[in-house]
Amino acid sequence: MTPSELTTRVTLDTCAAVTALAALSWALAGAAAGLGVLAGGALAVVNFRWLVARAFVATSTGSTSATAWLIGAGLRFVACTGACGVLLATGWAHPVALVAGFTVLPCDLIARGLASARTER
């Protein structure tokens, strides 16, 4: 599996899982829980895609400095933290639901990576 295939599969799997989990959360715990899961999943996907794009640029050009990588990572974290802060301060997202939405992507990424490693032996 190529890195772009892995990125696409993880993105699609995460979006599908987050949508289902958000619908279930909305039905069981209300709008704040559903929106929290949805927002957490969306932020995780955007953060992941941003990281993949920066890693591709860093590896393809070979001349990306550590300072540029550090600034890019800092901007990514500031943007994600700011979005989470706004969601939590306004009450649109439940904190536990936001974290639950964030955790879907890492779990899927690990599962896809292990499955890929198992088949490429």
Residue 64: predicted pLDDT:
63
Residue 100: closest CA among 12, 34, 7, 52: 34
Residue 22: predicted pLDDT:
97
Which CA distances in Å does 53 have to 58, 75, 88, 95? 9, 14, 28, 28
pLDDT mean for each 10 residues of the chain (121 residues): 88 96 96 96 94 82 72 90 95 95 95 86 65
Distance in angstroms (rounded) separating the CA atoms of residues 58 and 69: 8
Which tokens go with 105?
Answer: 């992507």
Residue 53: predicted pLDDT:
86
Residue 63: predicted pLDDT:
61
- Domain residues of the chain, as ranges? 3-119
